[in-house]
Structure 1
Amino acid sequence: MSYQALYRVWRPQTFDEMVGQDMIAETLKNAVKNQQLSHAYLFTGPRGTGKTSAAKILAKAVNCPNQTDGNPCNECEICQAITQGQLSDVIEIDAASNNGVEEIRDLRDKVRYAPTQADYKVYIIDEVHMLTTAAFNALLKTLEEPPEQVIFVLATTEPHKIPATIISRTQRFDFQRIQNKDLIDRMAFILESDEIDYDDEALAIIARASNGGMRDSLSLLDQSISYNQQRVSTQTALQVSGSLNQQTFVDYILAIYQHDSSQAIMIVEEQLQKGKQASRFIEELILFSRDMLLTQFSKTNHTLLTQEELDTIRNQIPADYYYRMIDQLNHAQNQMRFSNQPDIYLEVATIQLAQDEDQPTNSPQPSTPNVQALQDRVAELEEQIAFIQTQLKGQDQRITAAQQSQPTPKVAPLNENTANENKYQETAQEVELTPRQRPQRNNVRYALRLNHVYQILNEATRRDIQTIKAEWTNVLNQIAPIERAKLAGTKVNAASPTHVLISFENEQFAANFQNNTDLQARLQELLEALTGQAYQVEVMLETEWARTRQNYKILRQQNNGQPIPIKLEEEETEVSDKPKPTATKQPEMPSMADLLPKVNEAVQTPTNDEPADQQDPYGDLPEPPVNPDDSMDFADMDVDPSNFDEATNYAVEEIPEVISQAQQLFGAENVTIYYDR
């Protein structure tokens, strides 16, 4: 097939032949001429603006041995081979069909080989945005640091789809849409070279339909020549481009401006019968209205109308009418995009424009309002405003007089005597205030059940305390969070085979727990489930634990190291940290006269011959039970200074028996011990 399309025959072969891209052509030409070539270029822009042509010209220019002012000679063997696509050192890759990572890996392997015929190996990758992410990643390192004699040229119409890491490694050139004037001049040059007649309006119609693309305009021109090889006429251009004659728009606008709905609908139906699309009709009508606005406010004719046709419509249609028409046409165009019957929206928009009562019909200019009528209306409004201001002024005067007739209440200073308070009191009647009902509070109180605590200490064993402490965290974690908060800061102090003694830091928390039978039952249920043994829980305050433990030690020492006898009764307990007397008769205490000399002697002298730091801090302790592994002697109840308890962190110095009796007699808080260190 010997025939070639016009855009292939007339493809530019030098930078000087490029149309509408003067800045890009001059930059590339200077880079070739001055040997300032980059290793990678990125050509972006709309279709048909010369991206691939510029890439081929660049490939010829860098390899041509006879280049002139940065342009290739197009006569040498290398230029001819590149133009015909036969040079192996210039590789064109279509990324739309070779977008996989395997193709890019193959390119990466072959790029290391030196060129065979030319000086540079040039890779032209068209539609590069079609590459996959893996392909881009494979190309990244090669594109950043290719071999010395390799140049990459990437071309795309959608640069936003290219990763920023690729763009940053290239020199980017943005190709712009070619202006209609440049398109018309290029088509006229081609027709004159082929000796074909043409109408100027026909070339303008083709240029407008090509939307700034040289390839599109040459394709439409090629189609027009095929229709009539002797002449490219206006009618031919309208047929091949699908455009509408601007005289049709003139008739349509005049019809709707004069409220002639039937004539306007007839024009629309005629164009639809010719195969014109409704969307294309509205689009070109909006462009024609834009051209009419530009023409009315400038000295240049931006339309394709003759001067006589232009004067006819310009003298009848005012400029503000085009504004309203463009708004309504845009609205119809937006609705048309989501409809299966766009013709209906065009017809409805036509009727709406023709029935618009706001537009004048007899005069091309809007009617001038009566100036005298406006002046009379302004004078009437001024009189009404003055009357309203007079009324407002009278109201202000009456309000001021009423305020002056009433006595001004005074407030006595804070440092005045109370005898003068009534002098400045306001005489207004006092309003009786009703107090707000206060919310009911939980008035439960904490009570230390000392006998129950002593009973737990009598029966406490090492195995039970270790078992409870090991499972205490698990017990708390299985309680609901809202209930777990009520056990905040609790510690396990002692445990017997049947009871557990825990302490609270907060007194109100301890009181709430003592009166919360549901929480107690839940806690006991969890203890039994985790330990396999039933325990009842007794509580006390953390601040009471050290003193209660010391008092229990004194009582046990007085009982010859044996558990103290306790009679548990259902009695009222006091909120106190002092031990409550039990029903059992306590050992008879010595008198103060007999006790004081012994206290002084005990403070100054150790109770035995052993060194002070080696003495047992608790004195004589009871003998352990038969099974020592199942018991907890009193020295292990978290008070040994060398083995602090995690729950109480408390240690007790050795206290002689005489001093213990003094504390029992006078109260531990009233006895102060000074050690001679």
Structure 2
Amino acid sequence: MSHQAIYRRFRPKIFDDVLGQEHVTKTIKNQILSDNIAHAYLFTGIRGTGKTSTAKIFARAVNCTNNHDGNPCNECESCKSILNETNMDVIEMDAASNNGVEDIRELRDKVKFLPVNSKHKVYIIDEVHMLSKGAFNALLKTLEEPPEHLLFILATTEPHKIPPTILSRCQRFDLHRIKIPTIVENMRKICDEINVDIDENALKLIASNSEGAMRDAQSILDRCLSFTNDKIDYETVINLLGTVNYQTIMEVASSLLEKNIEKTMVLVDDILDKGKELSFFLDELIIYFRNLLIIKTTNSIDNLTKVSEDAVNELKVISEKISIDEIVYYIEELSSTQVDCKRALNPKILLETKLIKMMHNSNTFNIEELVKRIEMLENGIKSDKPIYIKQVNTSPKQKEVEKSAINLTKDQPSIKSEKSEEEKPVKKSIPRNMGDEEIYNGVVNGWQNILRKIRSENAGLQAIIRECNIVEVKNKKIVFEFDPKFTFHINAANQSKNKTKFKEILSGFLNTECEVEFIIRNEEKKQSKPKQTIEDIYEDLKNEFGEDKVEFNQED
């Protein structure tokens, strides 16, 4: 008998065998028991979480003649024919290779025929997001008004690529990533069944590298079985995956934290000389610091990744010796290094340079400690008492920050004087009693400054006001006029909030209470500023009667 892959050999046969997806299987079983089956379903989720397996179980369950609590019996003729892939009423399609309009049109023609030996004709379309736009349009009508005997089960890893018109006609079920303990337990059962001895740490490493996909975990186990039939240990899995031993990762991380450049370079050379993938090594190192951050911030070990129970205690000890800022610094720098190395012509040299830079010019420091030291400096200067600060090892950046803080505190007396000035009660200026002409001249001479003041507080109001001109001042009411073409501007200016704001700015600028009014320019009769002097009257008479008709004799 030919070899059969583990993921096929141990594929779930009933809904209860689908691990980690109880929210999906329970709902479907209830629908089957209550005979409340929809005409189209969509299963989404990452690879290896059970989408196709659930679809096949579903296809058998709806056609099973001896259903048990919603599960197929797998013993009746219908179940056996579907399991043997000889049932003509259950059709599986791969949309990646059958994604054209003609393929879907052919499907649409066939769905009209009644099932041959089954209750329902079931179409399972895998990777449905690969269908072309035309194919989706061809499928839409069938999904909208399907025959009673028809059941569509769509599966995809990328639901965002499916048109909303298709999504709205399907019952959608999102399959979750399978948790590591669940994968470990299932792998242990498989190993017991096939009589294979495997280490607990090896199981956890396989589960961690599967990233929540049961099929990936089973494929890794299959590779391990091909490598050795005696016993699968931690080192076997490490060698097959090309990853770095966790103990080595911990040594590299410790040497980084200790700023031990020589030891770090030796460890990195040893890792890369063994043929380990550089990106995998950096990924493991980033995950190590991520675990440190989780322990430091949450004081919990529930969400740790790719770490054995033996290493948890050591992580707790190290987390107490390092600040959150340092951990975040290393995660950011290592992530940046990982991206840069993927583009580098010589990634090993770049990696070594980045690591040395991290250790030699590390700008990590404890922010909280620095704040406390600055507060001590300030309090000491305020109280005129000598300041004693314990010298600690600081990075160049921290020393620079502290130096800046000390320079600031040297000027503390001047700061005190400024503060004392600010604490004095501010004398409010007394509004002036200005005449109309004085107000008029103040507005004209300071118009640009007034516009700048308006713009600093309300740019929209400034755009309106700049189109008007002062006409006159009557009893402290300043009249402004707009050209008739600025209808919008005068309506906006006369709005209560705009008029009040403009009045407030003008009164503050002139230091006197005044009112404002906006009018439209009358082309027949132009307004002018108040005429109060004999020179003003003389100018008006000349304009009215002619310069040769009016004489002005000014007596000394």
For the superposition of Structure 1 and Structure 2, which TM-score range results when normalised by the shorter chain? 0.5 to 0.7
Go from structure 1 to structure 2 and tell me whether the alpha carbon gap of 1:389 and 1:135 turns closer, same or farther (over 3 Å shift): closer
Determine the C-alpha separation between the residues in 2 that align with 1:167 and 1:370: 59
Q: CA contact under 8 A between 2:121 and 2:151: conserved in structure 1?
A: yes
Offset of residue 163 of structure 1: 1.4
- Would you say how many aligned residue pairs link Structure 1 and Structure 2? 410
Go from structure 1 to structure 2 and tell me whether the alpha carbon gap of 1:393 and 1:65 turns closer, same or farther (over 3 Å shift): closer
Give the aligned partner of residue 351 of structure 2: 346
Cα offsets for 1:444-503 (capped at 9, x unmatched): xxxxxxxxxxxxxxxxxxxxxxxxxxxxxxxxxxxxxxxxxxxxxxxxxxxxxxxxxxxx
Go from structure 1 to structure 2 and tell me whether the alpha carbon gap of 1:314 and 1:410 turns closer, same or farther (over 3 Å shift): closer
Q: CA contact under 8 A between 2:325 and 2:365: conserved in structure 1?
A: no
Offset of residue 387 of structure 1: 2.8
Go from structure 1 to structure 2 and tell me whether the alpha carbon gap of 1:366 and 1:140 turns closer, same or farther (over 3 Å shift): same
The within-5 A match list for 1:28-427 is 28-296=28-296, 297-300=298-301, 302=304, 303-304=307-308, 306=310, 309-310=314-315, 313-314=318-319, 316-358=321-363, 369=373, 375-379=379-383, 383-389=413-419
Offset of residue 171 of structure 1: 0.9
Cα offsets for 1:575-613 (capped at 9, x unmatched): xxxxxxxxxxxxxxxxxxxxxxxxxxxxxxxxxxxxxxx
Give the aligned partner of residue 527 of structure 1: none
Offset of residue 299 of structure 1: 4.3
More deviation, 367-376/137-146: 367-376
Give the aligned partner of residue 525 of structure 2: none
Q: CA contact under 8 A between 2:48 and 2:216: conserved in structure 1?
A: yes
Go from structure 1 to structure 2 and tell me whether the alpha carbon gap of 1:116 and 1:351 turns closer, same or farther (over 3 Å shift): same
Offset of residue 126 of structure 1: 0.8
Q: CA contact under 8 A between 1:209 and 1:243: conserved in structure 2?
A: no
Go from structure 1 to structure 2 and tell me whether the alpha carbon gap of 1:137 and 1:371 turns closer, same or farther (over 3 Å shift): closer
Q: CA contact under 8 A between 1:206 and 1:220: conserved in structure 2?
A: yes
Which aligned segments of 4 or more residues in structure 1 are displaced greater than 6 angstroms? 365-368, 391-394
Q: Specify the code of the residue in structure 2 equivalent to 1:220.
A: I
Offset of residue 21 of structure 1: 0.8
Determine the C-alpha separation between the residues in 2 that align with 1:366 and 1:197: 54
Go from structure 1 to structure 2 and tell me whether the alpha carbon gap of 1:176 and 1:273 turns closer, same or farther (over 3 Å shift): same
Determine the C-alpha separation between the residues in 2 that align with 1:368 and 1:270: 42
Q: CA contact under 8 A between 1:124 and 1:152: conserved in structure 2?
A: yes
- 1:229 aligns to what SS in structure 2? coil
- 1:93 aligns to what SS in structure 2? strand
* Structure number with higher helix proportion: 2
Q: Specify the code of the residue in structure 1 equivalent to 2:44.
A: T
Go from structure 1 to structure 2 and tell me whether the alpha carbon gap of 1:262 and 1:169 turns closer, same or farther (over 3 Å shift): same
Q: Which ranges in structure 2 are unaligned for 5 or more consecutive residues?
A: 385-408, 446-556
Go from structure 1 to structure 2 and tell me whether the alpha carbon gap of 1:260 and 1:124 turns closer, same or farther (over 3 Å shift): same
Q: CA contact under 8 A between 1:52 and 1:155: conserved in structure 2?
A: yes
Q: Specify the code of the residue in structure 2 equivalent to 1:161.
A: K
Q: CA contact under 8 A between 1:48 and 1:215: conserved in structure 2?
A: yes
Q: TM-score, normalised by structure 2?
A: 0.67
Q: CA contact under 8 A between 1:282 and 1:346: conserved in structure 2?
A: no
The root-mean-square deviation of aligned C-alpha atoms, in Å, is: 3.3
Cα offsets for 1:550-593 (capped at 9, x unmatched): xxxxxxxxxxxxxxxxxxxxxxxxxxxxxxxxxxxxxxxxxxxx
Q: Specify the code of the residue in structure 1 equivalent to 2:56.
A: K
Offset of residue 339 of structure 1: 3.0
- 1:173 aligns to what SS in structure 2? strand
Cα offsets for 1:222-261 (capped at 9, x unmatched): 1112212222211111122222222112111111122211
Offset of residue 176 of structure 1: 1.6
Determine the C-alpha separation between the residues in 1 that align with 2:82 and 2:436: 105
Q: TM-score, normalised by structure 1?
A: 0.56
Q: CA contact under 8 A between 1:238 and 1:244: conserved in structure 2?
A: yes
- 1:154 aligns to what SS in structure 2? strand
Q: Which ranges in structure 1 are unaligned for 5 or more consecutive residues?
A: 415-420, 432-677
Percent identity over the alignment is 41
Go from structure 1 to structure 2 and tell me whether the alpha carbon gap of 1:310 and 1:124 turns closer, same or farther (over 3 Å shift): same
Give the aligned partner of residue 26 of structure 1: 26
Give the aligned partner of residue 536 of structure 2: none
Q: CA contact under 8 A between 1:92 and 1:126: conserved in structure 2?
A: yes
Cα offsets for 1:419-460 (capped at 9, x unmatched): xx9xxxx9xxxx9xxxxxxxxxxxxxxxxxxxxxxxxxxxxx
Offset of residue 391 of structure 1: 6.7
